[in-house]
Amino acid sequence: MRIGNIELSSRVALAPMAGVTDVAFRQICSELGAALTCTELISSRALCYRDKKTFSLLTQFPGEHPGAVQIFGSDPTCMAEAAQIALEATGCDIIDHVKTQFPYCAAMAVISFVMYIVFGFVL
Ligand SMILES: Cc1cc2nc3c(=O)[nH]c(=O)nc-3n(C[C@H](O)[C@H](O)[C@H](O)COP(=O)(O)O)c2cc1C
C-alpha cells in the first residue's frame, strides 16, 4: 500500500488517537506489526507558540518510519507553520492535518484549558 510516495510494508496502520497514541504505545504497535504510526492530535497553535509540553507529543521512538504527525487547527497560516515545525522536529514522513471549524475549536480550547489546569499540557 502507498500513501503518496510512502510505501507501507503492510495494510496495518495505527489510527491517530488523542490521549492514546503516545510514543510508547506507538513503539509497541510498531513492534507488533503496524506499518505506519501516527502521533496524538497536536494543536498547531500550541506548536507555533512552542509550548514545551506540546512539543513533547512530537517525541519519536528510534527509527519511527514511516511515521505521521497529526496536527489540528483553524488558521491555515498557523497550520502551515506548525507542519514545518513538526517536520523539522521529527523528520516524519507524513503530516496529517485536521482543519477545525468554530464550534469544534471552541470545544478543543475548553478541553485544552482543562487539560492544562489538571495535567499541565495543552492538547
Ligand atoms: C480514543 C480515540 C481517540 C481518537 N482520536 C482521534 C484523533 O485524535 N484524530 C483522529 O483523526 N481520529 C481519532 N480517532 C478516530 C480513530 O483514528 C479511527 O479513525 C476510528 O477509531 C475508526 O477506526 P476503527 O473503526 O478501527 O475504530 C480516535 C478514536 C478513538 C477510539
Residues enclosing ligand 1, CB less than 6 A?
A: 15-18, 20, 41, 70, 98
> Would you state the pLDDT for residue 45?
95
Domains of the chain, with CATH numbers?
A: 2-119 (3.20.20.70)
> Would you state the pLDDT for residue 122?
63
Task: Please give the number of the atom of ligand 1 that sits closest to the Cα of 16.
Answer: 17
Per-residue H/E/C for 70-114: EEEECCHHHHHHHHHHHHHHHCCCEEEEEECCHHHHHHHHHHHHH
Residue in this structure with the C-alpha cell 487547527, named with its chain if needed: 73
> Would you state the pLDDT for residue 103?
67
Separation of CA 15 and ligand 1 centre (Å): 6
> Would you state the pLDDT for residue 119?
80
Residues of the chain with pLDDT under 70: 102-105, 121-123
Ligand 1 atom 30, closest CA: 17
What global pTM score does this model have?
A: 0.84
Position 112, amino acid: S
C-alpha cell at 95: 503530516
> Would you state the pLDDT for residue 21?
97
> Would you state the pLDDT for residue 46?
96
